[in-house]
Structure 1
Amino acid sequence: MSRITIIYRKIFLCFVFVMAAYCTFFIAGCKIKTANTNKNSASNVNWKEMKKTGEMELKYAKMFSVDYYGDYSLVTIAGNEKYLLIPKNSEVPANLDEDIVPIKLPLKNMYVASSASMDLFREIGGLSNVKMTGTKSEDWSIDEIKKYIDSGEILYGGKYSTPDYEMILENNCDIAIESTMIFHTPKVKEELEDFGIPVMVERLSYEKEPLGRVEWIKLFGLMSGRLSEAEEFMEECSKRYDDVVSKVSEKNKDNEKKKVAFFYISSNGYVNVRKPGDYISKMIDIAGGSYAFSDYVPDEENALSTMNLQMEVFYEEAYDADYIIYNSTIEGEINTVDELIEKCDLLKDFKAVKNGNAWCTGKNMFQETTGTIDMIEDLYEVINENDSDELKYLHRLK
């Protein structure tokens, strides 16, 4: 047998091996998909005959809704993404609309790539329903979540853009909960769905009301069998929120609102601020302040909640702010005014710096979604009481 013939045979055998492996993998994926989303199997329940019996009461959230059909729950996100939660030991209804994704409860092996969602599950004791996360242990600021990962109870399933498909399949993932970042890698979403894994994209960051982000805890409570815990938590948040609003109303009867700037300085020299109408600017307003950039119109409209300003523009808008708050989440925490001025010498001329009213965020409040009401209370104390004692997220620069 010639050497060339041997080479060709080896190539052919390699090709056969690869194709066999691919077919096995593809068939396994199809089986998983069929098992999880079998809409067409025989069922004694007919979707066309089911009637709406109620709906979830939502006070702040606008980006999702839940309609009840007996024990079944129809979840609608962003107006057009629909999921039907199927009760335990119940069937997927026959004649279910093609645009409705069936999700069988209970959910015990969730892959939660959305870090903002993880804290909501944590608050209601739902981390036991989560099997994988999209954030490594060292990147979490929430101790309880870190402990779950370090103990192996929750696995690192890969970043949202590069999930560990093998791990996800081996652990019988029953749903992937993603942030809108997944839309930057649509192929990943498609591949997860091809494996029969429902993908739910939360819209917490699109909520205009700060507590609207928190109220997603009700949806996650429903999905994890902890709705009563979620409702109890939201009731407490709502009472604390109303208390702040009442105090602000009393304080501001005859007083002009204090001007507040919230920002950080990037490594390339730009000043990053929240857009008008963003939930951070709304929290400042709720706490009795006036956001320094509330009248500023961004040059470019996009879905981002932040915008970059030239230092000259930032100076013009914020030099006379009564309070400035440096967002340390991105560029790292600072503790002194000197550290702040090192980032930009112009800051020494700001009214707030001269008057000792320069503040900084400490803990990662962007991961701690449930801390929204704490942040509103912190802002109230800073703006109205000029108080630095027992604050959770803010500290005064020395």
Structure 2
Amino acid sequence: MQTKHFGLCAALSAAALLLLAGCAGSGSTAAPTLTVESSYPLQYAKQFTVDECTGGYELITIADSQYLVVPQGAAVPEDLPQGTTVLQQPIENIYLVSTSAMDPIISLGALDSIALSGTKADGWYLPEAKAAMQAGQIAYAGKYSAPDYETILASGCGLAIENTMIYHTPEVKEQLEKFGIPVLVERSSYETDPLARMEWVKLYGILLGKKQEAEQLFDTQVQCVAPLENQQPTGKTVAFFSITSNNLVTVRKGSDYVARMIEMAGGSYVFDDLTDSGNNLATINLSLEDFYAGAKDADVLLYNSTIEGSIASTEQLVEKCPLLVQFKAVQNGNVWCTAQSLFQQSMELPDLILDMNRVFTEGTPADSELTFLTHVE
């Protein structure tokens, strides 16, 4: 049975391949057999699973792909499932393309495991990531569809972490793997619960040898929103949106994690009935008329600044869409704008839920009391 084995270099010598197989010489120890002991417990995440195996090995499954995390100094087991990607610890010099993975890795104190970024310094809203790139500690190695292979190979890259956009250019994934670089395609964006997205920190904890730290970090963040579980709904109706340059309104679908955050905060999302429409996109574009019909009586408007930029005043918002002057929330001064860092700060989602709850229950809390929301005057 053939298994893909990846190293840090563009090619492995024949002797190294023999060593990985556990048969470099007659005196070598035979490769162990992979034996699953238990399933690693996950509370919310649905897009990955982990099987804990004897000897400290961990078998990660993401969609139809499997990754075996091999402890440092351990041999690669024999008879792995066809196509299993072997990740030998320590995993270093990561090429990070998926921006949602950066915050969990920073939170684990493992920023030094990243050597390359698929985002330029000015594209990061995370100060640690931006500073590391400006200091030359992390190099820009091209976006997902056009990586700088020379830079990647010269760095001794041990892993490329991509999101599902890589499937639009499958030849890039194939080329990286031909160079001996394993590619892990993360799917946290497919999670429909904010706590499920945040639980992906456990996957990075496993990869980077910080499993216990990840569990403690996740548990601490979950406890931040635990008090909201016993609160009654506020009765506030809420629209979360942005206005595009071609006069359409982008809203989140009812199954999206943003709608779930509004619910957890005690609100009711006005577009909760919007369905998948046959695709996996989290958003849908509405005409101004359809948006007016659905959101004109909403108690709270939350403007998503991450797509078209932030707004500083209701006048600026009304310039984008004159119909908004007729909206209840605009007339009552209950319009809020999200921080542009929102979708990169996946470990701080509880702070946004708490922000929403304060807005829904207190009316107009001071901006200084909030993390991700700013009142639009």
TM value normalised by structure 1: 0.87
> Which residue in the other structure is 1:31 paired with?
12
Counting only pairs closer than 5 Å after superposition, residues 1-398 of structure 1 correspond to structure 2 as: 29-31=10-12, 40=21, 42=23, 44-47=30-33, 50-70=34-54, 71-78=56-63, 80-246=64-230, 248-249=231-232, 252=233, 257-297=235-275, 300-389=277-366, 390-398=369-377
Percent identity over paired residues:
42
Residues 33 and 301 (structure 1), Cα distance of their counterparts in 2 relative to 1, 3 Å cut: farther
Mapped partners of 1:324, 1:308: distance in 2: 17
Unaligned runs of 5+ in 2: 1-8, 24-28
Letter of the 1:73 partner, please give it: E
Mapped partners of 1:292, 1:175: distance in 2: 42
Letter of the 2:161 partner, please give it: I
- Residue pair 1:110, 1:176 contacting (<8 A) in 2 also: yes
Mapped partners of 2:15, 2:197: distance in 1: 34
Mapped partners of 1:288, 1:33: distance in 2: 61
Mapped partners of 1:103, 1:392: distance in 2: 37
Unaligned runs of 5+ in 1: 1-27
Mapped partners of 1:268, 1:53: distance in 2: 55
Residues 197 and 90 (structure 1), Cα distance of their counterparts in 2 relative to 1, 3 Å cut: same
Q: Residue 391 of structure 1: CA displacement?
A: 0.5
- Residue pair 2:92, 2:159 contacting (<8 A) in 1 also: no
Residues 325 and 38 (structure 1), Cα distance of their counterparts in 2 relative to 1, 3 Å cut: farther
> Which residue in the other structure is 1:8 paired with?
none
SS in 2 for 1:53: strand
- Residue pair 2:22, 2:75 contacting (<8 A) in 1 also: no
Residues 117 and 35 (structure 1), Cα distance of their counterparts in 2 relative to 1, 3 Å cut: farther
- Residue pair 1:39, 1:95 contacting (<8 A) in 2 also: no
Mapped partners of 2:75, 2:310: distance in 1: 52
Letter of the 2:39 partner, please give it: E
Mapped partners of 1:129, 1:176: distance in 2: 12
Instruction: Please say which structure displays the higher CA radius of gyration.
Output: 1
Mapped partners of 2:353, 2:279: distance in 1: 26
SS in 2 for 1:285: helix
Bigger CA drift: 383-392 or 322-331? 383-392
Bigger CA drift: 267-276 or 379-388? 379-388
- Residue pair 1:37, 1:102 contacting (<8 A) in 2 also: no
The total of aligned residue pairs comes to 361
SS in 1 for 2:246: coil
Mapped partners of 1:178, 1:381: distance in 2: 35
Q: Residue 53 of structure 1: CA displacement?
A: 2.0
Mapped partners of 2:14, 2:327: distance in 1: 59
- Residue pair 2:58, 2:70 contacting (<8 A) in 1 also: yes
Q: Residue 296 of structure 1: CA displacement?
A: 3.0
Letter of the 2:197 partner, please give it: R
Q: Residue 31 of structure 1: CA displacement?
A: 3.4
- Residue pair 2:265, 2:357 contacting (<8 A) in 1 also: yes
Mapped partners of 1:278, 1:333: distance in 2: 22
